[in-house]
Structure 1
Amino acid sequence: MRYLPLTDTDRSAMLDVVGAPSIEALFSDVPESARLPGLIEGLPLHASEMAVERHMQRLSDRNIAAGSAPFFLGAGAYRHHVPSSVDHLIQRGEFLTAYTPYQPEIAQGTLQMLFEFQSQVARLLECEVANASMYDGSTACWEAVVMARRITKRGKSLISAGLHPHYVSTINTMAGFTGDVIDYTAPVLDAAADDEALIASIDDETSCVVVQYPDILGRLPDLAAIAEAAHSKGALLIAVVTEPVALGAIKSPGELGADIVVGEGQSLGVGLQFGGPYLGLFATREKYLRQMPGRLCGQTTDAEGKRGFVLTLSTREQHIRREKATSNICTNSGLCALAFSIHMTLLGEAGLRALAAENHRLACLAADRLGAVPGVELVNTSFFNEFTLKLSGNASAAVKALADRQILAGVSLGRLYPDAPDIGGGLIVAVTETTTLEDIEALAAGLQEVLA
């Protein structure tokens, strides 16, 4: 007998309370194109465990593993070498099974780890305070936008053309529920970010200016100039960092005047992992502390004078009255934060700077070599470990053709911006310390072949 916890009468009663005509109506915010009208075509209703394993293995064999081929994918998710000690330590039972500290006084190990993580993030981003992590970079970005609204009492956000389109999509989705005005246009293939146009768009109604650093095309916007312009109009600057390794080589956003700095911490300790779970970074100025979402761990002393850790601030709806909460995010990416913190500890400041230097060195070699291929033009004049190429042919077609040759060439702009055909020839290429000279030569030869 099947266990059915709810009857049709129960469901009807609940739908009446929430005012929905049917269960399907509860999913009205999900686009029709993203909903399945029925069962998945071709998927059997049942199969044996061994048959399922064989089927899944056949599907897996169609993939190209990141470590098995020349790999140049980036655009917000990067392949870096993660020391084996990171995985060894996060697999310890006291870390792997730990959950959100509802009784923080008995979760001293978890709280200390989060305190150290916050300290590392605050120093990396050059901000006075950082929280104990968010879900990922895109949701952290939206939380920064809505935080700026609370601070400035304004509802217009100016989004740089260089912000990752997935982050823009997250902002637009959430703004549909809050009524925020989002001012954004897609980028053009140009060597430099259009800082002057962005600055000229800041007005007295602007709540915040959101700028990715480095941006989606690998360019480095002038954060200091944008911060000055934003502050002159009473707006905040939100800087978004999708590649934290870059901060081992370039100035941190907080140093350049950013009021809120958010980002994706996946590059350090976490790995690619098929798109998640990832790790949202969030830091700000101390004067905005009580408007910061999530939670904050602090250091104190107990009644015997011994060092201890506490959950200092939890401005979320599970801990305080919902109408007083700054966010409905109900946890943090604790295990990913631990992986980030262990990797950062193993590197240290000198190690991070050396890692960043190696990334940039290899990227420069790749840019020079690929830019010399007939039919390929290097767009950037400055970059860290990621740059954009303009191909004579369609970039999406080139990426597919190279994948058939076991080369993961990069991310085509046509994939990221399907409604902007004028940038369809753009290809974003990321180079990290895992890239070899042989990989670069393979990509150069492959591009020359598919563009011929």
Structure 2
Amino acid sequence: MTSYRHRYLPMTDQDEADMLQAIGLSSIDDLFRDIPDSVRYKETLPVSAPLDEFALWTHLRELSERNTDTSRCISFLGAGLYDHHIPAVIGHLISRSEFYTAYTPYQPEISQGELQAIFEFQSYICELTAMPVANASMYDGPTALAEAGLLAAGATRRKRLVVSRGVHPEARQLLATSARGLGLEIAEVDYIPADGTTDPELLEQAVNDQTAAVIVQSPNFFGCIERIADIAALAHAQGALLAVSVNPLSLGLLEPPGRLGADIVVGDAQPLGIPQSFGGPTCGFFAVAEPLMRRMPGRIVGQTVDRNGKRGFVLTLQAREQHIRREKATSNICSNQALLALCAAVYLSVMGRAGIQEAALLNTRKAHYAAAAAAAIPGYSMPMAAPFFNEFILRLPDKLSCAALSERLLNDGILAGYDLGQSYPELTGHMLLAVTEKRTRADIDRLLARLEEYA
């Protein structure tokens, strides 16, 4: 056994021999003897020979340079993950050991700092969404949306969920997977092609007295802003709940769903200071009307006082399978994204009310500038007329595919938008473009020049 191997695998040849002897085996291969020989891999794995530390770092660096990222590329890609500015203070605070290495704060007397941070996150989410109660976070936005459907089914004792096709395709897939296990019916309602929002006539036909919840997203996957108040009235007339998935940054400008009749508000906190990280992890949030508080998945951090009247924080309402009998649990969600919830809390505290409004306004104005200018280029057009936040759909010229455009833009240092044909066959040849506050006018004009050149 070499010292190099010993550095990463703390076991000597003698250690290995002693352990095999203790369990009555003669070799490592004997551990796998129950696996049929016909299905065992007998070739040499296609990896390099052992490398020393310097050579390994060189190799890994070469591999990493084959990728690109938003520090080297101008990104117009959104579709659920966005290239927003992340204040430097976030990295500084979440890297503190008491946060970075913390686990579930089961012992409140020694976890007051983390519990307070989660409490602040909950408070910010309540203020953003205008909902009275929020939990201590979820894994991500799609998980939160699926849990919203399950909560509605349990609260109403109904089995039908009506979901807009304007909801993120991956979130709808996750909802369908969760619903299948509980025998819930999913009915999808289409959008208005020329508008981009949920078709109200189709929605009215789909919602009945067996509907547990109507589930919509606003801004939806196309970036379009849904008519939440109208949808809420329609759902409530049939005794159904309304669950709304939102982009939290958009609430710096838009009326919060809690004031428009939503019973459940969920979303992903990624726009609030959380890196894209190659697709995750992110942090979901979950807020409800007060009558639904005890049905929420996960748990809540509550504020109280000790015997001396000093403010303190505790975990409360932990109606999850880790704490009570599994058949009585509201959810099998057993953890929250505390570190990333802290990112969002720090972001919101640093930005403040005025900063969130300004960031949302920049997203809106820059996206509308880009959309209007792109649609004015011969061959391009905007097929959907509904108001939008920071994403919009651009129809490409017939001779130009999304794949071809993406490849050419990438060669020019621009990360293109999302090819909608991947999720919506009827929108083949349409690209979803996101414009955040990080995009300068020069960035946008560079994209526009390339679009005109390729038309």
TM-score with structure 1 length normalisation? Answer: 0.88
Look up the match of 1:28. none
1:407 is aligned, of 409, 414, 420, to: 414
The 3-state SS of whatever aligns with 1:65 is coil
Is the counterpart of residue 44 in structure 1 residue 51 in structure 2? Answer: no
Confirm or deny: 8 A CA contact 2:189 2:203 kept in the other structure.
no
Is the counterpart of residue 245 in structure 1 residue 252 in structure 2? Answer: no
Look up the match of 1:232. 237
Confirm or deny: 8 A CA contact 2:196 2:222 kept in the other structure.
no
Please give the alpha-carbon distance, in whole angstroms, between the structure 2 residues aligned to 1:447 and 1:312.
54
Q: What amino acid sits opposite 1:316 in the alignment?
A: R
Confirm or deny: 8 A CA contact 1:140 1:281 kept in the other structure.
yes
Structure 2 gaps of 5+ residues are: 1-12, 26-33
Q: CA deviation at 1:75?
A: 0.9
Look up the match of 1:352. 356
Aligned residues with identical type, % of pairs: 44
Look up the match of 1:430. 434
The 3-state SS of whatever aligns with 2:350 is helix
Confirm or deny: 8 A CA contact 1:396 1:424 kept in the other structure.
no
Is the counterpart of residue 70 in structure 1 residue 74 in structure 2? Answer: yes
Q: CA deviation at 1:140?
A: 0.6
1:117 is aligned, of 121, 133, 137, to: 121
Q: What amino acid sits opposite 1:346 in the alignment?
A: V
Q: CA deviation at 1:186?
A: 6.2
The 3-state SS of whatever aligns with 2:394 is strand
Confirm or deny: 8 A CA contact 2:193 2:384 kept in the other structure.
no
Please give the alpha-carbon distance, in whole angstroms, between the structure 2 residues aligned to 1:23 and 1:327.
36
* Pairing of 1:26-45 with structure 2 (within 5 A): 43-44=46-47
Is the counterpart of residue 272 in structure 1 residue 272 in structure 2? Answer: no
Q: What amino acid sits opposite 1:395 in the alignment?
A: C
The 3-state SS of whatever aligns with 2:381 is strand
Please give the alpha-carbon distance, in whole angstroms, between the structure 1 residues aligned to 2:239 and 2:158.
10
Name the CA shift for 1:7/1:235 in 2 (closer, same or farther; >3 Å): farther
Cα distance per residue 1:327-346 (max 9 Å; x no partner): 11111000000110011001
Q: CA deviation at 1:106?
A: 2.2
Please give the alpha-carbon distance, in whole angstroms, between the structure 2 residues aligned to 1:42 and 1:245.
46
Q: What amino acid sits opposite 2:47 in the alignment?
A: P
Look up the match of 1:11. none
Look up the match of 2:212. 207
Look up the match of 1:104. 108
Q: What amino acid sits opposite 2:117 in the alignment?
A: M
Is the counterpart of residue 168 in structure 1 residue 172 in structure 2? Answer: yes
Look up the match of 1:298. 302
Please give the alpha-carbon distance, in whole angstroms, between the structure 2 residues aligned to 1:124 and 1:53.
44
Q: What amino acid sits opposite 1:144 in the alignment?
A: A
Q: CA deviation at 1:364?
A: 1.4
Please give the alpha-carbon distance, in whole angstroms, between the structure 2 residues aligned to 1:40 and 1:79.
43
* Pairing of 1:181-200 with structure 2 (within 5 A): 181-184=185-188, 189-196=193-200, 197-200=202-205
The 3-state SS of whatever aligns with 1:364 is helix
Name the CA shift for 1:255/1:438 in 2 (closer, same or farther; >3 Å): same
Name the CA shift for 1:340/1:7 in 2 (closer, same or farther; >3 Å): farther
Name the CA shift for 1:186/1:427 in 2 (closer, same or farther; >3 Å): farther
Q: CA deviation at 1:210?
A: 0.7
Name the CA shift for 1:199/1:46 in 2 (closer, same or farther; >3 Å): farther
Name the CA shift for 1:448/1:42 in 2 (closer, same or farther; >3 Å): farther
Look up the match of 2:65. 61
Higher Cα Rg, which structure: 2
Q: What amino acid sits opposite 1:397 in the alignment?
A: A
Please give the alpha-carbon distance, in whole angstroms, between the structure 1 residues aligned to 2:23 and 2:87.
48
Look up the match of 2:6. none
Q: CA deviation at 1:422?
A: 2.3
RMSD after superposition: 2.4
Q: CA deviation at 1:189?
A: 4.4
Q: CA deviation at 1:156?
A: 1.0
Q: What amino acid sits opposite 1:122 in the alignment?
A: C
Please give the alpha-carbon distance, in whole angstroms, between the structure 2 residues aligned to 1:362 and 1:329.
38
Q: What amino acid sits opposite 2:184 in the alignment?
A: D
Q: How many residues align?
A: 423
TM-score with structure 2 length normalisation? Answer: 0.88
Cα distance per residue 1:219-241 (max 9 Å; x no partner): 11101011100011111111001
Please give the alpha-carbon distance, in whole angstroms, between the structure 1 residues aligned to 2:369 and 2:45.
47
Please give the alpha-carbon distance, in whole angstroms, between the structure 2 residues aligned to 1:389 and 1:7.
67
Deviates more, 1:185-194 or 1:80-89: 185-194
Q: CA deviation at 1:396?
A: 2.8
Please give the alpha-carbon distance, in whole angstroms, between the structure 2 residues aligned to 1:39 and 1:71.
44
Name the CA shift for 1:429/1:304 in 2 (closer, same or farther; >3 Å): same
Q: What amino acid sits opposite 1:167 in the alignment?
A: A
Q: What amino acid sits opposite 1:269 in the alignment?
A: G
1:389 is aligned, of 369, 394, 417, to: 394
The 3-state SS of whatever aligns with 2:75 is coil
Please give the alpha-carbon distance, in whole angstroms, between the structure 2 residues aligned to 1:41 and 1:398.
40
Name the CA shift for 1:40/1:177 in 2 (closer, same or farther; >3 Å): farther
Q: CA deviation at 1:59?
A: 2.6
Please give the alpha-carbon distance, in whole angstroms, between the structure 1 residues aligned to 2:309 and 2:198.
55
1:366 is aligned, of 370, 377, 395, to: 370
Q: CA deviation at 1:319?
A: 1.4
Q: CA deviation at 1:62?
A: 2.0
2:445 is aligned, of 428, 438, 441, to: 441
Cα distance per residue 1:287-309 (max 9 Å; x no partner): 11110010101111101111111
Deviates more, 1:120-129 or 1:396-405: 396-405
Confirm or deny: 8 A CA contact 2:162 2:187 kept in the other structure.
yes
Q: CA deviation at 1:45?
A: 6.4
Confirm or deny: 8 A CA contact 1:71 1:439 kept in the other structure.
no
Please give the alpha-carbon distance, in whole angstroms, between the structure 1 residues aligned to 2:185 and 2:58.
50
Please give the alpha-carbon distance, in whole angstroms, between the structure 1 residues aligned to 2:242 and 2:44.
48
Confirm or deny: 8 A CA contact 1:238 1:258 kept in the other structure.
yes
Please give the alpha-carbon distance, in whole angstroms, between the structure 2 residues aligned to 1:180 and 1:340.
33
Look up the match of 1:32. none
